Structure 1
Amino acid sequence: MNWLLVIVGAMAGAPLRFLTDRAVQARHDSVFPWGTFTVNVVGSLVLGLVTGAVTAGAGSSDLQLLVGTGLCGALTTYSTFSYETLRLAESGARFYAAANAVASVVAGLGAVFLGAALAEALWT
């Protein structure tokens, strides 16, 4: 049953990632991968919120599997982030490559901590 929750979450997360990436990137005339950056930060925020809710007893392990592992696992993408950073560096856009690496890690960690703190404020 656990695998089914992960699959259902991923079935929502993967197309959501694709559609969000395309919508965000279409609004920016830049080589910076804003779409991937956005889905990774939003996914980190949601994961922090869900993990905090489960830790506080306000969410179940099923919620963690469905939203945390399934949805967030398919929504976020470390491989695309890595590939896009490499492509930026190879094309000579080294500033954007470095900015993507640093901003993605800082914003992702900040978002997951913010989500966990928000969950703690709401459910403890």
Structure 2
Amino acid sequence: MTALLVALGAGVGAPLRFLAGHYLDGRYPLGTFLVNIAGSFLLGLFSGMSLSGHEAALLGTGFCGAFTTYSALAVKSVELGRLAGTTYAVGTALAALAAACAGYAAA
């Protein structure tokens, strides 16, 4: 049952991530940045809500896990070059951490 819930959540999160990247990424990977920040906020929120195991599997692991994207963050960071890519990676990590804390506090 848990694996099915993870797959169901991922089936919603992954297409949303794809659409955000497809429509918002350009010279600067805005879509990738936004999904990572939004997903971090949601994961913090869900963690603060103390979801049940099934709810956490669906929303946390499934949806947020598929919605956020470390692999695209890594690729986009390399594509931006050494200085801009490092700034982008560090900025994303700090903003995602702040968003997760904000989500947790909001719960």
| TM-score normalised according to structure 1 size | 0.81
The alignment status of 1:79 with 2:71, answered yes or no, reads yes
Structure-1 residue corresponding to 2:17: 17
SS of corresponding position for 1:85: helix
- Stretch moving more, 36-45 or 79-88: 79-88
Residue type at the aligned position of 2:105: A
Q: CA deviation at 1:4?
A: 0.5
| TM-score normalised according to structure 2 size | 0.93
Give unpaired runs (5+ residues) of structure 1: 120-124
The alignment status of 1:52 with 2:48, answered yes or no, reads yes
Runs (4 or more) in structure 1 with deviation over 3 Å come to none
Structure-2 residue corresponding to 1:32: 28
Structure-2 residue corresponding to 1:4: 4
Superposed CA RMSD = 1.2
Q: CA deviation at 1:38?
A: 0.5
Counting only pairs closer than 5 Å after superposition, residues 62-77 of structure 1 correspond to structure 2 as: 62-77=54-69
Residue type at the aligned position of 2:84: Y
What percent identity do the matched residue pairs reach? 44
Q: Distance in 2 between matches of 1:97 and 1:31?
A: 12
Residue type at the aligned position of 2:57: L
CA contact under 8 A between 1:36 and 1:80: conserved in structure 2?
yes
Structure-2 residue corresponding to 1:96: 84
Question: Which whole-Å deviations, capped at 9, do the CAs of 1:34-68 have from their partners, x for residues lacking one?
Answer: 110000000000000001101xxxx3121110010
Residue type at the aligned position of 1:2: T
CA contact under 8 A between 1:32 and 1:100: conserved in structure 2?
no
- Stretch moving more, 98-107 or 71-80: 98-107
Give the structure with higher Rg (CA): 1
Q: Distance in 1 between matches of 2:54 and 2:84?
A: 39
